[in-house]
């Protein structure tokens, strides 16, 4: 009995704190959600404004900006699509085998290579962009290969930053993969490449589809690295949007942005069936 | 005895096969990273010791003057201080907002959960340029916040070209990373442990601080370090919300490269930014996780 008396009074205090903490936590939850979603919702709202100058309240609403935004940005949009398709495809070609090797053979050597292959995720994009540009110019001066400003270099730079995503998703898709089927195929006489082609790759099909789309999105959205590597007159969609926003803010730029958000949302929604999105994004 | 020595051990042969297969599978990706990242970064390091010349642009040298110029000039050290302050405060707010959201999301059971998770993932894949537009509409002179402030008689209030505005913009971009990482951390903590603590008489708040928080700390550190790195390297948000007179490291580097053509100094800036970020994350890990290990 003597034990319960002090603990009961302290419980009274913590209950009071609890009573205060719950609405406090709810306020934090609400503020956090507003900070993430308010700008996106506002962009959608503004894209329907009739007037070219954004004023509140708007004079009227229209869908006209959606019609005129795509022709205005068609050239950077096509460049970004081409770039993202090439980079996505190539990073599958390089990243999927690496993912298989990293999941199969675990030792100190492969762990070191794994860290190296994931390094592009943690190095600032602006430093990667500068380094690749400077490197390309240096090689160009020695060999006279036209590297700087070429589409090939831009694609390779995007492959560099999309490979870590492909590897991570492939590793995740192989965590529950049972090697027994591979050993069975090998013991029945299948050559190692045939085992990969007929057993391993089909088993990781969902992961490959998901990582291809993620590589596409990461490349499509990249700004910092492309900034250093585009040639004069060439532009990607994120660069074009940045340059437009430095001078103007109007419903047109909101409309092209909303189209982009909707496109990415559609891809992610479709991918929901293929991969655990929350896990992939981490 | 002789038999064992004559035929190579099967495991030995298998090792060799593994080595060949692993290198065949890993070489293409490793080659891309070596040529496109390792070699360029090494060149950048070498270039940061070159000398800038207004007419010849870059002169081969072995001088530390780009580094002494950075650390000797208050203008540049102020840019670094601004960058660190913005990164630290945005990370602190991401933790403050992110933990309650992640906790509730992790303990939430609903058929809508997948849809809500999708909504959390979506902003991560929308470029920071696009995500700044909404804030520009809110913050600008004719924007929503200014209109609300003037109609309430608070005078003009614009967050464009202010540090606060940039911090809000960066919180908005980094918060989903924090939420998704912490959500998985909390989901990994058995809910029964909390219930056990509560059934033994601990109030929910006490159960949280004594059970959940210590278990979540290592994962929380990973999420905080990620947010900090992203904020240190932020480019589009400081350019668009901060404007031309607000300086953080990444825009400064780009400006030195494009406007001044000063490659050696831009290279030094890149290395200073990367080193500062690395040192701060290592120190934070040592301090916070080291203390927990001793406790």
Q: Which domain holds residue B92?
A: 65-190+216-294
Joined together, the tokens standing for residue A234 give 């060439």
Substitution target from B42, B125, B252 for chain A, most A beta carbons within 10 A: B125
Joined together, the tokens standing for residue A270 give 């479709």
- Look at residue B67 and tell me whether its pLDDT is greater than 80: yes
Average pLDDT of the segment spanning B100-108: 87
Q: How many domains does chain B have?
A: 1
Residue B42 lies in a domain: no
- Look at residue A55 and tell me whether its pLDDT is greater than 80: no
Residue B10 lies in a domain: no
Those residues whose C-beta lies under 8 Å from the C-beta of residue A76, and which sit 6 or more positions away, are A235, A236, A237, A239, A240
Residue extents of the structural domains in chain A: 1-46, 66-281
- Look at residue B8 and tell me whether its pLDDT is greater than 60: no
Residue A136 CA from chain centroid, whole number: 25
Asked if B233 and A126 come within 8 Å (Cβ–Cβ), the reply is yes
Identify the CATH number of the domain in which residue B78 sits: 1.10.3720.10
Residues of B in contact with A21 (CB under 8 A): 205
Distance from CA of B207 to the nearest CA of A (A): 11
DSSP annotation of B199 reads H
Residue B8 lies in a domain: no
Q: Are B73 and A194 in contact (CB under 8 A)?
A: no
Residue B211 lies in a domain: no
Pairing of strands B57-59, B51-53: antiparallel
Of A67-71, A197-201, B58-62, minimum mean pLDDT range: B58-62
- Look at residue A274 and tell me whether its pLDDT is greater than 70: no
Which one is predicted more confidently, B133 or B17? B133
ipTM of the complex in this document: 0.84
pLDDT classification of A175: cutoffs 50, 70, 90: confident
Chain A residues 112-171 with a CB less than 8 Å from chain B: 113, 116-117, 119-120, 122-128, 130-132, 134-135, 138, 156-157, 159-160, 163, 167
Q: Are B1 and A89 in contact (CB under 8 A)?
A: no
CATH topology of domain A66-281: MetI-like fold (1.10.3720)
Q: Are B79 and B163 in contact (CB under 8 A)?
A: no
Joined together, the tokens standing for residue B21 give 């297969």
Residue B102 lies in a domain: yes
Burial readout A108-126 (b: 16 or more C-beta within 10 A, e: otherwise): eebeebbebbbbbebbbbb
Asked if B235 and A223 come within 8 Å (Cβ–Cβ), the reply is yes
Q: Are B270 and B232 in contact (CB under 8 A)?
A: no
Residues of A in contact with B270 (CB under 8 A): 124, 126-127, 130-131
Of A267-271, B126-130, B138-142, minimum mean pLDDT range: B138-142
Residue B38 lies in a domain: no
Considering only CB atoms, A127 lies closest to which of B36, B183, B270, namely: B270
What would the 3-class secondary structure string for A53-99 be? CCCCCCCCECCHHHHHHHHHCHHHHHHHHHHHHHHHHHHHHHHHHHH
Q: Are B52 and B265 in contact (CB under 8 A)?
A: yes
Say whether residue A43 is in contact with chain B using an 8 A CB cutoff.
yes
Those residues whose C-beta lies under 8 Å from the C-beta of residue B11, and which sit 6 or more positions away, are none
Residue B203 lies in a domain: no
Residue B158 lies in a domain: yes
Say whether residue A69 is in contact with chain B using an 8 A CB cutoff.
no
Joined together, the tokens standing for residue B92 give 């602190």
């Amino acid at each position: 009995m003597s034990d319960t008396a002090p603990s009961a009074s302290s419980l009274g205090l913590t209950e009071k704190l609890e009573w205060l903490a719950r609405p406090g936590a709810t306020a934090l939850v609400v503020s956090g959600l507003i900070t993430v979603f308010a700008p996106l919702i506002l962009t959608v709202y503004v894209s329907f404004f009739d007037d070219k100058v954004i004023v509140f309240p708007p004079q009227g609403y229209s869908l006209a900006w959606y019609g005129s935004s795509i022709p205005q940005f068609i050239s950077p949009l096509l460049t970004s699509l081409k770039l993202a398709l090439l980079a996505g495809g190539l990073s599958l070609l390089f990243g999927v085998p690496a993912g298989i090797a990293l999941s199969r053979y675990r030792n100190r050597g492969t762990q070191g290579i794994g860290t190296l292959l994931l390094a592009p995720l943690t190095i600032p994009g602006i430093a990667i962009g500068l380094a690749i540009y400077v490197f390309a110019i240096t090689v160009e001066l020695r060999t006279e290969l036209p590297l700087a400003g070429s589409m090939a270099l831009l694609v390779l730079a995007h492959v560099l930053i999309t490979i870590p995503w492909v590897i991570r998703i492939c590793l995740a898709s192989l965590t529950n993969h049972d090697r027994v089927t591979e050993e069975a195929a090998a013991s029945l006489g299948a050559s190692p490449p045939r085992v990969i082609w007929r057993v391993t790759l089909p088993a990781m099909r969902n992961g490959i589809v998901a990582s291809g789309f993620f590589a596409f999105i990461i490349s499509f959205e990249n700004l910092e690295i492309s900034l250093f590597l585009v040639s004069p007159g060439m532009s990607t969609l994120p660069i074009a949007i940045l340059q437009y926003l430095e001078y103007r803010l109007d419903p047109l730029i909101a409309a092209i942005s909303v189209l982009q958000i909707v496109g990415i949302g559609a891809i992610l929604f479709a991918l929901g069936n293929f991969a655990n999105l929350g896990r992939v994004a981490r | 005895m002789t038999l064992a020595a004559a035929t190579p051990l099967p495991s030995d042969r298998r090792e060799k096969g593994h080595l060949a297969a692993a290198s065949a599978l890993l070489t293409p990706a490793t080659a891309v990273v070596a040529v496109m990242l390792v070699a360029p970064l090494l060149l950048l390091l070498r270039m940061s010791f070159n000398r800038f010349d207004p007419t010849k642009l870059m002169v081969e040298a072995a001088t530390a003057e780009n580094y002494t110029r950075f650390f000797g000039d208050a203008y540049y050290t102020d840019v670094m201080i601004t960058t660190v302050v913005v990164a630290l405060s945005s990370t602190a707010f991401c933790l403050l907002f992110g933990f309650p959201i992640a906790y509730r999301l992790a303990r939430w059971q609903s058929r809508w959960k997948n849809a809500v998770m999708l909504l959390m993932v979506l902003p991560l894949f929308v470029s920071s340029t696009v995500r700044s537009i909404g804030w520009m509409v809110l913050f600008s002179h004719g924007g929503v916040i200014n209109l609300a402030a003037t109609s309430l008689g608070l005078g003009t209030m614009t967050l464009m070209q202010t540090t606060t505005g940039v911090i809000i913009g960066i919180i908005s971009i980094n918060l989903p990373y924090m939420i998704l990482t912490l959500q998985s951390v909390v989901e990994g903590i058995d809910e029964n442990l909390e219930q056990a603590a509560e059934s033994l008489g601990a109030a929910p708040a006490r159960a949280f601080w004594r059970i959940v928080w210590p278990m979540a700390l290592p994962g929380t550190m990973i999420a905080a370090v990620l947010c900090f790195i992203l904020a240190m390297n932020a480019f589009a948000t400081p350019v668009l919300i901060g404007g031309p007179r607000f300086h953080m490291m990444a825009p400064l580097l780009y400006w030195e490269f494009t406007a001044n053509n000063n490659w050696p100094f831009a290279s030094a800036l890149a290395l200073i930014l990367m080193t500062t970020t690395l040192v701060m994350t290592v120190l934070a890990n040592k301090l916070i996780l080291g203390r927990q290990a001793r406790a």
